Amino acid sequence: MHFNGEQQRQSIICFLVCSLKGFTMGELEVEKHAQYILSVEKRKDDFESVVMEHLRMNGAYWGLTTLDLLGKLETVDKDEIVSWVMSCQHESGGFGGNVGHDPHILYTLSAVQVLALLDKLDVLDIDKLANYIASLQNEDGSFSGDMWGEVDTRFSYIAICCLSLLHRIDKINVEKAVNYVVSCKNLDGGFGSIPGGESHAGQIFCCVGALAITGSLHHVDKDLLGWWLCERQVKSGGLNGRPEKLPDVCYSWWVLSSLIMIDRVHWINKEKVARFILDCQDKENGGISDRPDDAVDVFHTYFGVAVSDNDFSDSCTPLEGIHCMAMVDPKPPVLFYIVMELDFHFLNIRD
């Protein structure tokens, strides 16, 4: 399935129009969030930037997509960004998180996403990049994140997602890839990072996304999983990633997107989710935090804006949801960046 530029534009406009159903722009501090993102991009030498240096490729994707969603993408120098992205590519075809950093499938997807967002995929040697991703598939169908071999269903999703974007899904053994993801399904209907791993909303998003893109959703018990996902909503309206954990803006995205893909999004109280996200805004200086009164950051600003930009409407069929977000539109506000946030939490925060 491949749409042309005009169809892509239309689907984006459709997205933005729909967004007004769930929120009024008056409540979402659009201008302030855009200013916040631009100020972060300029502050390259402060503490946050130094700490996050290895994740700069992911940050670029989050920040740029947020600006795009807010209609402010023209404020950045596209040529400068493309040239920086390409300077992060290695001989293997993979991309590092910044210049001089080792390649990893996480940053490779972000690089592809940034180039797709800027409509510059033509600067890529697509086969070289696709071969790099295919080289990370293991005998059992799973994917490693890089040459060091850590295996995780996040990487299965990234590989499938990235190759779909590049129209090179035939480079991998799709049947084995699907079977591996299915082997990570749990009795509660959810999915873990490896066979037997605990169910987690972010991981579920990755597994359901991988199955959706490959046309394999019949492996999901939709009622059972839908129930588990709806139980992630806590009193404040926010959603957590697994039982007994605090709610977090970014989980709004993973849970709602997963519910859309399995056609159960009408089971959740969307007004309460919206209220929770609006309560996480810094109304004075812009930016969105993980939960009310915490410090804002680019990741959660992106997630908050992305969720706000979708109405997750009941009339959106699962197929439309997936196509809107992943398969068709190279500027999907959604499916792609999530894995990066997931990495941020899993590796750095582990909540």
Q: Which residue ranges make up the site for Zn ion (CB under 5 A)?
A: 248, 250, 290
Instruction: Report the distance separating Cα 350 and Cα 342, nearest Å.
Output: 9
Question: Which residue has its beta carbon closest to Zn ion?
Answer: 250
CB 276, min distance to Zn ion, A: 12
Helices (H), the chain: 5-22, 30-42, 47-51, 56-69, 78-86, 105-117, 126-134, 153-165, 174-182, 201-213, 222-230, 249-261, 270-279, 298-308, 318-322, 338-343
Place of tokens 């009408």: 266
Burial of 38 (0-12, 13-18, 19+ CB in 10 A): middle
CB 241, min distance to Zn ion, A: 8
CB 249, min distance to Zn ion, A: 6
Pull the structure tokens for residue 229.
């996902």
Residue (250 or 288) nearer to Zn ion, CB: 250
Residue (102 or 294) nearer to Zn ion, CB: 294
CB 349, min distance to Zn ion, A: 8
Whether residue 333 contacts residue 312, with contact meaning beta carbons closer than 8 Å, is answered with no
Pull the structure tokens for residue 147.
């040459």
Residue (68 or 248) nearer to Zn ion, CB: 248
CB 250, min distance to Zn ion, A: 3
Residue (34 or 250) nearer to Zn ion, CB: 250
**∠201-205-210 over CA atoms, to 5°?**
150
Residue (222 or 291) nearer to Zn ion, CB: 291
